[in-house]
Amino acid sequence: MDFNMKKLASDAGIFFTRAVQFTEEKFGQAEKTELDAHFENLLARADSTKNWTEKILRQTEVLLQPNPSARVEEFLYEKLDRKVPSRVTNGELLAQYMAEAASELGPTTPYGKTLIKVAEAEKRLGAAERDFIHTASINFLTPLRNFLEGDWKTISKERRLLQNRRLDLDACKARLKKAKAAEAKATCEGDTVPDFQETRPRNYILSASASALWNDEVDKSEQELRVAQTEFDRQAEVTRLLLEGISSTHVNHLRCLHEFVESQTTYYAQCYRHMLDLQKQLGSSQGAIFPGTFVGTTEPASPPLSSTSPTTTAATMPMEPSVAGLAPPGEASLCLEEVAPPASGTRKARVLYDYEAADSSELALLADELITVYSLPGMDPDWLVGERGNKKGKVPVTYLELLS
């Protein structure tokens, strides 16, 4: 108990000394040991890395799980070291509702059949989203979180320790400076020869004694300063090594970022493939239900990203419809140049991608140009007739965005 009380008193004294030194520095009444420029740059880079890692981590979590309540629930499960329960994605929930609606409204009706097809596509999209979230959480979020909860906490601890060592060092420097000033003053007073007729001998003796005491205080302060300088240098070296390790952290985060982009590319390529398949199914069924109508497209204005993954290569570019010809059997010799456009039913369309004509019956296309399109009776729903000036030919629907 006595030892603990002594340690508590010693710690309180050290804390008070550091508080006094810190306060005097803030008011400009004490000198502060400055770190070298390279060390300051390492500190600034570490702080910047920590701040941006936190922002990227939070926003990626929002991207993967937009629902804040669900994010809080997942956070609590992680803190309690419990497995996060499986959650149905929005796409899978929509697929469930569509399937139930088709069952109730009639699965054999055109509307019911379409609901079933869209439900299957949405279910596949939900499964792809689930895989993407799982992969991104493991390959991207986990390394960022490990850095903030592991490496950065260690760096912060050593930086606080370095700050304490610096305060101790500067306090020792201030104490030594005061001791030397007092010693010089006592020495000057002791060197004066006293006049025993006017000055009491006792004052001279006290001055000599004070000078000796200050000499001892200077020696003690110098010893404490050497110890404090050694501890500060050792702690500065430890902190420097940890800060230089931020470069390795950047390399690791770079690798994780590449994996995140790869998983995101795979996810969007799968979504594109699923929606393209659904569009083809709906296009063929719509052509059977509403002959002669246009089939629009909801494709993006630029081609999707290519992926090196063999499972997604097929979905990285628009799939050209496999059509033998424009006219049905028995009318293959129909010349488009001799066919006049219908009086009504023509529309403007914007070309999404460049398209090279396979033969003279097709019309070559350039991205972003506007053409006039229309359908003829008996045409394959994946093709339209396109006109640009005096030129006319077949154009694939998947390369167009129909305008109102």
- 352-374 pLDDT, tens digit each: 888 888 888 899 999 889 999 98
Q: What are phi and psi of 350, to 5 degrees?
A: -100, 135
Amino acid at position 147, single letter? F
If pLDDT is split at 50, 70 and 90, which confidence band does 390 have? confident
Is domain 10-190+215-289 given the CATH code 3.20.10.10 in the classification? Answer: no
Spatial CB neighbours of 173, under 8 Å, sequence gap ≥ 6: 31, 33, 225
**Distances 220 to 148, 164, 180 between C-alpha atoms, Å:** 43, 21, 11
Interval 87-97: pLDDT, tens: 788 899 999 99
Give the predicted TM-score (pTM) of the model.
Answer: 0.60
Buried residues in 210-222 as b, exposed as e (16+ CB within 10 A): bbeebeebbeebe
Residue 311 pLDDT: 43
pLDDT in tens, 199-233: 455 454 445 566 667 677 778 888 888 998 999 99
| Residue 109 in tokens | 């009706």
374: which 2 tokens? Answer: 């229309």
Band (307; pLDDT cuts 50, 70, 90): very low
- 351 and 365 Cβ atoms separated by less than 8 Å: yes
State residue 386 phi and psi, 5-degree precision.
-115, 140
Statement: residue 375 has pLDDT above 90: no
Of the candidates 321, 312, 315, which has an alpha carbon nearest to the alpha carbon of residue 303? 315
Beta-carbon contacts of 48 under 8 Å, excluding residues fewer than 6 positions away, are none
In this prediction, residue 310 has a pLDDT band, given cuts at 50, 70 and 90, of: very low
β-strand partners of 373: 347, 386
CATH architecture of the domain with residue range 346-403? Roll (2.30)
Classify 33 in phi/psi space as left (phi over 0), alpha (psi -120 to 50) or beta. Answer: beta
DSSP structure string for 257-284? HHHHHHHHHHHHHHHHHHHHHHHHHHHH
CA distance 178 to 185: 11
The answer on pLDDT for 107 being more than 60 is: yes
What pLDDT sits at residue 159? 93
Residue pair 157/165 in contact (Cβ under 8 Å)? The answer is: no
Residue percentage of the chain with pLDDT more than 70: 70
**Residue 196: both structure tokens together:** 């025993």
Q: Where are the domains of the chain?
A: 10-190+215-289, 346-403
**CA–CA gap between residue 140 and residue 262 (Å, rounded):** 11
pLDDT at 338: 63
User: What's the burial of 159, exposed, middle or buried (CB within 10 Å: 0-12/13-18/19+)?
Assistant: middle
pLDDT, tens digit, 9 for 90 and up, residues 133-167: 999 999 999 999 999 999 999 999 999 999 999 88
What's the distance, CA 108 to chain centroid? 47
